[in-house]
Amino acid sequence: MECLTRYDVAEYNGVKMVVVESDLLPPDPAVVVIPLLTDYPAVKDLNPELVLNGQCWVLATRLIAAVRRSKLRRVGNVADQGDRINRAVDVLMAGV
């Protein structure tokens, strides 16, 4: 099982996704992620643009999902943009 922590970027079948699950939760075979896409319609605060390895990606927050850790391969980390990711999840859940 791949060791993934919050804000790691992992890849599954060519799709990059950000781990948004807290590191304080007990281990589980699945992890909560949000896809990073290049052609997703951006809504202010809900879909921030993130930079990974010099490339811009849109956080597709409404596509939040759980994926088996064993299917993911870590390809980076966007912890430096964590505030924007947290804000997007807050907007998704609370609308504010």
Which strand (E) or helix (H) includes residue 18?
Answer: strand 15-19
pLDDT reported for residue 27: 86
User: Which amino acid is located at 58 in the chain?
Assistant: V
φ, ψ for residue 88, nearest 5 deg: -65, -40
**pLDDT averages per 10-residue partition of the chain, 96 residues:** 88 97 93 97 95 97 97 97 98 91
Can you tell me which residue has the tokens 């390895």? Answer: 53
CA nearest 60: which of 96, 28, 89? 89
Q: What is this structure's pTM?
A: 0.94
Domain locations in the chain as residue ranges: 8-94
Find the DSSP H helices in the chain. Answer: 82-94
pLDDT reported for residue 2: 63
Cα torsion for 10, 42, 47, 81, to the nearest 10°? Answer: 70
pLDDT reported for residue 1: 55
Decide which of 2.40.160.150, 2.40.50.100, 3.40.710.10, 2.30.30.110 is the CATH code for 8-94.
2.30.30.110
